[in-house]
Amino acid sequence: MAGNHLPYPDAVFFNGKIRTFAPGTPVVQAVACSGGRVVAAGNSDEVLRLCGADTREVNLKGRTVVPGLTDAHVHLADKGLAERELVDCRDFYGPVSTIDAVLTRLSKKAATTPAGEWVVAQGSPMQDFRMTDKRFPDREDLDAAVPEHPVSISFGAHVTVANTKALALAGIDRERQDPAGGSIERDPDTGEPTGILNERAQHIVSGVIPDFDATQRKLGIAYAVQQSLERGVTTIHDIVKDPAAVRAYQELKAEGGLHMRSSLLLRVIESHMSTDSVLETGLQVGFGDEWLRVGGVKMSIDGGITGRNALFYDPYLDVPDYRGLIRIEQDELDETVLRCHRAGMRCCVHAIGDRAFDMSLEAYEKALAASPREDHRHRIEHMGNWLMSPQRIEKLVRMGIVAIPNISLGYFVGDSIREAIGAGRMTRAFPLKTLLDAGVKMAGGSDAPGYWPVDPLRDIGAYVSRRMLWGETLAPEEALSVQQAFELHTTHAAFAGFEEDRKGTLEVGKLADMAVLAEDPFEVPAERIKDLKVEMTVVGGAVKYQA
Ligand SMILES: [Zn+2]
């Protein structure tokens, strides 16, 4: 009977070039996994010796393995749903370079939709800059293509266009006032709404579109999870704003259908969850398990840069005297941050413009003075993208605030952002080397899917090459090494998730989450890292994706 009681591993991955990112043992050939964790790492021979009759042996055939990647800022549940259910007019996903091409897709959908039912679509942020028409479609364009259905199409998170039927159902006419924090664009001659709705004005239309059901929501998450696994992602920090999304996650997990790990950032303010309702549960950051947990609360101070609503001190170049949009005033922000902080929650504040950066730093400064707490790991979403003055860097380091930059924003729409805010504010965009050297804690987040796919390899490639999709090399002096770039999506991301005890490196005792790559990212030219094929993604020792 000797040996029967030995805990044979569930799986052994051998004959690989496993970059563990662990100090001391950077590269090993094999790892053994049991109960979802790494139980041994070393040479193939010694690890294979541990196998029992039922151990699954996976020959890596010399390929490179890295720890499973984390994307620290996604809208997966929301956008996965959109991806499955909405008409796709996004130019980053297909050839949609004219208003005509958008209208063709809408009328095609209308042709198979009963008259009177909604046609809901999504475009890409700042698509008006890139389409040959150099503008968004308006209600007249939409009416001409789809006269018998209410139509709504969003271009990123900050702009929605509706046709006449949709505006009527939402009660938007020339008499309708702009809501606080939003604007209804109007024809300067007639005063009639053009169909273009900014920021909170979008909610007037989205509020009358029929909601999705639970099955659609689960399928949406599962779909987006699959897309992420295909790019080596094993953990996401997902911003959710609807209890239905939280329920969908739990049901999916209970049904055995959640194949990636998710930390939920519960959005409060402009959300279907209030600060009160979240805090009254008594939940603190970390509640949950290794698959699904509470990662903190999220709130947004300003609008998005892609809708030119990020809050800056200086005006936009193309909208005279306009400095962006404030969604949460300083008083409300201070109070909300302090309450969440005191309740043991971790805060994630969205700030994109420099004035919003300073508002968020001020709120944290006050909360930490009123109620000092070590290791809070409060975050500022989108900080690190630009305008990182020495003063802001000093505050981040001193207070221990985690910055979540999004180089994907620069990669896809950096050129249009520069047109909107000017080269001056973009000269040292994404100064990631400066921030790392200064000791700022950081993790990478893409703001995907929806805008663009979840793909940390694309972002890692951009940190290293600084080569943007639109052709320029942006501030090459801020390039990271390949190792540093991976750390933003492994070890540092684990820290940002309060999970460095079990994620980020591949070593005994940690979760067996890993990505098998077709080539070694440390040995290909930086421009090619984004194109590296993921051949296998392993979560908890189980193969969840295979090319
Ligand atoms: Zn976001």
> 7 CA distance to ligand 1 centroid (A)?
43
Q: What is the pLDDT confidence band of residue 497, given thresholds at 50, 70 and 90? A: very high
Sequence-ordered strand ranges (E) for 75-224: 87-88, 119-123, 151-155, 159-162, 182-186, 193-199
Residue 504 has pLDDT above 50, yes or no: yes
Compute CA 200 distance to the chain's CA centroid, rounded to the nearest angstrom.
Answer: 21
Range list for CATH 3.10.310.70 in the chain: 77-206
Reported as a single tens digit per residue, the pLDDT across 252-295 is 999 999 999 999 999 999 889 999 999 999 999 999 999 999 99
CATH topology of domain 11-62: Urease, subunit C; domain 1 (2.30.40)
* CATH architecture of the domain formed by 77-206: Roll (3.10)
> 382 CA distance to ligand 1 centroid (A)?
8
> What pLDDT score was predicted for residue 306?
79
Average pLDDT over residues 404-423: 95
- Please name the amino acid found at residue 261: R
> 327 CA distance to ligand 1 centroid (A)?
14
Reported as a single tens digit per residue, the pLDDT across 179-208 is 988 899 999 999 999 999 998 899 999 999
> What pLDDT score was predicted for residue 2?
33
From residue 295, alpha-carbon distances to 26, 270, 288, 291, 341 in Å are 29, 19, 9, 12, 13
Residue 31 has pLDDT above 50, yes or no: yes
> 406 CA distance to ligand 1 centroid (A)?
9
> 168 CA distance to ligand 1 centroid (A)?
30
> 447 CA distance to ligand 1 centroid (A)?
5
> 342 CA distance to ligand 1 centroid (A)?
24
> 335 CA distance to ligand 1 centroid (A)?
22
Reported as a single tens digit per residue, the pLDDT across 213-264 is 999 999 999 999 999 999 999 999 999 999 999 999 999 999 999 999 999 9
Residue 33 has pLDDT above 50, yes or no: yes
Residue 9 has pLDDT above 70, yes or no: yes
Angle between helices 354-370 and 390-399 (to 10 degrees): 30
> 153 CA distance to ligand 1 centroid (A)?
19
Contacts of 277 (CB under 8 A, 6+ apart): none
Range list for CATH 2.30.40.10 in the chain: 11-62
> 260 CA distance to ligand 1 centroid (A)?
19
> What pLDDT score was predicted for residue 379?
98
> 75 CA distance to ligand 1 centroid (A)?
6
> 379 CA distance to ligand 1 centroid (A)?
13
Dihedrals phi, psi of 410, to nearest 5 degrees: -70, -40
> 537 CA distance to ligand 1 centroid (A)?
25
Least confident of 3-7, 166-170, 260-264, 378-382: 3-7
Q: What is the pLDDT confidence band of residue 318, given thresholds at 50, 70 and 90? A: confident
Average pLDDT over residues 60-72: 98
The whole-angstrom separation of Cα 402 and Cα 378 is 6
- Per the CB < 8 A criterion, the answer to whether 128 and 135 are in contact is yes
Average pLDDT over residues 115-120: 96
Residue 11 has pLDDT above 80, yes or no: yes
> 44 CA distance to ligand 1 centroid (A)?
42
**Number of C-beta neighbours around residue 254 at 10 A:** 10
Mean pLDDT over the full length of the chain? 95
Average pLDDT over residues 125-146: 94
The whole-angstrom separation of Cα 386 and Cα 217 is 35
- Per the CB < 8 A criterion, the answer to whether 143 and 161 are in contact is no
Residue 426 has pLDDT above 70, yes or no: yes
> 218 CA distance to ligand 1 centroid (A)?
20
Q: What is the pLDDT confidence band of residue 475, given thresholds at 50, 70 and 90? A: very high
Sequence-ordered strand ranges (E) for 314-446: 347-350, 379-381, 402-404, 441-442
> 321 CA distance to ligand 1 centroid (A)?
26
> 29 CA distance to ligand 1 centroid (A)?
38
> 74 CA distance to ligand 1 centroid (A)?
6
Q: What is the pLDDT confidence band of residue 6, given thresholds at 50, 70 and 90? A: low
Residue 431 has pLDDT above 70, yes or no: yes
Average pLDDT over residues 324-332: 91
What's this model's pTM, rounded to 2 decimal places?
A: 0.91
